[in-house]
Copies of this chain bind each other. A is one copy, B any other.
Amino acid sequence: MSSGEMDGEQVTIRHVAARAGVALSSVSRTLTGHPDVSPAMRQKVEEAVEALGYEPDLLAQSLRSGTTRTIGFIIRDIANPLFALVARACEQELRRNGYSMILMNSDGSVETESKNLLLLRRRRVDGVIASLVAEDSPYIKKTILSLRRPLVLLDREMKDLNASAVITDHYTGVYDATAHLIKMGHEEVAFVTGAENVYTTRDRLRGFRAAFQDAGRPVPEKWMALGGFDAEYALIHTRNFLAKTPRPTALITGGIGSTAGALRALNELGLQIGKDIAFVAIDEWPLFDVFTPPISSVYRDAKAMGGEAAHLMLEMLNGKEPSESIIETKFTVRTSTDGGL
């Protein structure tokens, strides 16, 4: 049989040794590819392994070696389509290199995130890849410092952590998008997204402001809603903004959830994007290509982000120093940026 078990009993290296009539250590040597193994020995061991369906216990190997070949992946919400793409690419790359991924959702809560980090440490994962809820929680920072394992951050900026990071250049994409709106004649551009306690928002905001400044126009600070990446927040604040008179003539949403919430609000109010209001989404929903009208967007390659995260992790596991990897963004004009004026 090949199940690694007989009669519900696990087959251990002991059984193999007994069956082959050799010592435990010889079986281990043979299986781990030690050079000092005679062909005769190899033969006997392989026969026994085959006959018993022996399979090394990764748990025991881990305890012995101190390495689990396991990476923790902490994310706010795996149901965010962008992060699902990141997670998929990351898992694939880690798996190709012999690592497994333990997935944990932090549900947008620093407490859960913290608990997850501690649990991963107790599970002795070899490293952690995380998209943190916030950068300004001293508690999380302390927890992270206590991890003492390679860490890769996704789109976060934190000092003194000795961590690698996959950083998105939001600035460029958002700058281009905003400049385009300004060129079309928009002054009252609303911006709905998450809070400034993450790099993501700060870098986008930097691009947004710079575009206005470079155009010699005042930054429309009153049309900024920077409170949450969730759809609910965007729904409420988009609704709010559009109820005012005068109202914004254009809208930029930062993030998958914000876009969903804003589109819901617009739908509810009967406002058509690309006609009643100009609209730009930062980050693309998977189905954006068949939306009507086609949505102008700031795109980034989620697959590359996941691959890079895995790559940076593997490098650190190989003893390299932490480093950063930059992901580009690209603004694409489609028809949702028409109208509004």
A residues at B contact (CB < 8 Å)? 1-5, 8, 53, 55-60, 62-63, 68, 70, 73, 77-81, 84-85, 87-88, 91-92, 95, 100-105, 107, 116, 118-119, 121-124, 145-148, 260, 263-264, 266-267, 285-287, 289-292
Contacts and interface: CB of A to CB of B under 8 A. Distances in A.
Contact of A105 (B58, B88, B148, B266): B88
Nearest to A147: B3
Contact of A88 (B4, B55, B77): B77
B121 A55 contact: yes
Given A81-B79, A81-B81, A85-B79, A59 B55 contact: no
A87 B63 contact: no
Majority-rule SS of A interface residues: mixed
A72 to B, nearest CB: 9
Given A59-B59, A78-B88, A287 B290 contact: no
A6 to B, nearest CB: 11
Contacts of A59: 59, 62-63, 68, 123-124
A122 B286 contact: no
Given A62-B59, A285-B287, A289-B267, A79 B84 contact: yes
15 contacts: A3-B148, A5-B148, A57-B122, A70-B102, A78-B91, A79-B81, A79-B84, A91-B104, A91-B105, A95-B116, A100-B104, A100-B119, A101-B104, A260-B290, A285-B286
Contacts of A104: 91, 95, 100-101
Contacts of A148: 3, 5, 8
Contacts of A146: 1-4, 53
